[in-house]
């Protein structure tokens, strides 16, 4: 009898699928993926992928971004209600009100937003290029959404006035100073890498404030071989796999930082998704065009 991973390997070949998994997915799902990475890395990759179909193990906005960038491919999300609480915090009517209150401001949307919100924004950004994107704009005022913590990170590094939307990622926003102090006590030789979705006071306690893609690079380049990983626990698994000679500690070992939506996808969901080619991501054409414009404008910035 075949194991679940053997079954998945066979089905994806037969049905012409590539499997992409976000860095925050479970170990099992990361292990059966063709590629793992952050949301934008994976979405960009869809343009290079030869198969006609993509299974995106992640949350809905990521599969949507993949579909925006590769409209000719069939993109499926294995768990229909795998959403992102932060992406869902943005209400278009609030954004419209902010635009009215700040008529000279440009709207920068983090890629962690729905296709509708991207379509209503001027340009997208990721956690690694947010400062560059903001500085590339002519406007002196920037409405930044949805994450107030990433907005604070950007505000420290630009002369522009940042007007944050009041959103946050519940996974990173729950990090407390005590968590950092405990981790530092337990692992005094480690360097602390913190994601910019963490609160500003936590960012200021870190050795490095980095996106997951930057954590991956930093861990490889740095002479040091011990790190505390201040983001969702799945990232530590990825780093350990990539650099088996180095040590990666969870910031909170007793109660790891876990994104419940990211952990919804199980191998059984992947099997059913491949079998039924579900749940297909479909985006209204008018939304798609405007959302893609905001993403492509970002991609043009070197």
Q: Does 190 bind ligand SF4 (CB under 6 A)?
A: no
Q: How far is the CB of 66 from ligand SF4 (least distance, A)?
A: 15
Strand 226-230 and strand 247-250: the pairing is parallel
Q: Does 169 bind ligand SF4 (CB under 6 A)?
A: yes
Q: DSSP readout, 238-289?
A: HHHHH-TTSEEEESSSSS----TTTT---HHHHHHHHHHT-SBP---HHHHH
For the CA atoms of 267, 269, 271, 277, the dihedral, rounded to the nearest 10 degrees, stands at: -150
Q: Does 194 bind ligand SF4 (CB under 6 A)?
A: no
Closest by CA position to 263, among listed 81, 73, 1: 81
* One residue of 70, 212, 261, 273 binding ligand SF4 per CB under 6 A: 261
Q: How far is the CB of 138 from ligand SF4 (least distance, A)?
A: 29
Q: How far is the CB of 112 from ligand SF4 (least distance, A)?
A: 5
Closest by CA position to 175, among listed 232, 111, 235: 232
What residues between 49 and 108 interact with ligand SF4 by CB under 6 A? 59, 84-86
Q: Where does this chain touch ligand SF4 (CB under 6 A) — which range of 43-51, 180-188, 218-226, 255-263?
A: 255-263
Count of all residues that appear for the chain in the document: 302
Is 44:67 a contact under the CB 8 Å cutoff?
A: no
Toward ligand SF4, which CB reaches closer, 24 or 227? 24
Binding site for ligand SF4 (CB under 6 A): 24, 59, 84-86, 112, 169-171, 232, 259, 261-262
């Amino acid at each position: 009898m075949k194991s679940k991973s053997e079954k998945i390997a066979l089905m994806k070949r037969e049905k012409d699928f590539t499997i992409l998994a976000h860095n925050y997915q479970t170990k099992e799902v990361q292990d059966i993926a063709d590629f793992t990475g952050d949301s934008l890395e994976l979405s960009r990759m869809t343009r290079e992928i030869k198969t006609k179909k993509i299974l995106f193990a992640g949350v809905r906005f990521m599969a949507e971004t993949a579909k925006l960038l590769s409209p000719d491919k069939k993109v499926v999300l294995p768990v229909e209600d795998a959403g992102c609480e932060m992406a869902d915090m943005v209400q278009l009517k609030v954004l419209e009100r902010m635009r009215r209150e700040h008529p000279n401001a440009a709207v920068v949307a983090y890629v962690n937003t729905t296709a509708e919100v991207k379509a209503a924004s001027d340009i997208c950004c990721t956690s690694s290029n947010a400062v560059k994107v903001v500085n590339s704009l002519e406007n002196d005022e920037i409405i930044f959404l949805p994450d107030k913590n990433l907005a604070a990170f950007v505000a420290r590094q630009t002369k522009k006035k940042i007007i944050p939307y009041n959103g946050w990622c519940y996974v990173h926003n729950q990090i407390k100073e005590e968590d950092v102090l405990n981790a530092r006590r337990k692992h005094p030789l480690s360097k602390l890498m913190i994601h910019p979705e963490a609160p500003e006071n936590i960012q200021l306690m870190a050795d490095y404030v980095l996106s997951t893609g930057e954590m991956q690079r930093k861990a490889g380049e740095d002479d040091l071989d011990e790190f505390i990983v201040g983001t969702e626990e799945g990232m530590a698994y990825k780093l350990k796999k990539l650099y088996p000679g180095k040590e990666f500690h969870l910031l909170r070992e007793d109660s790891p930082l876990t994104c419940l939506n990211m952990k919804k996808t199980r191998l059984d969901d992947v099997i059913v998704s491949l079998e039924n080619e579900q749940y297909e991501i479909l985006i209204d054409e008018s939304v798609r065009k405007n959302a893609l414009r905001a993403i492509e404008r970002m991609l043009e910035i070197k």
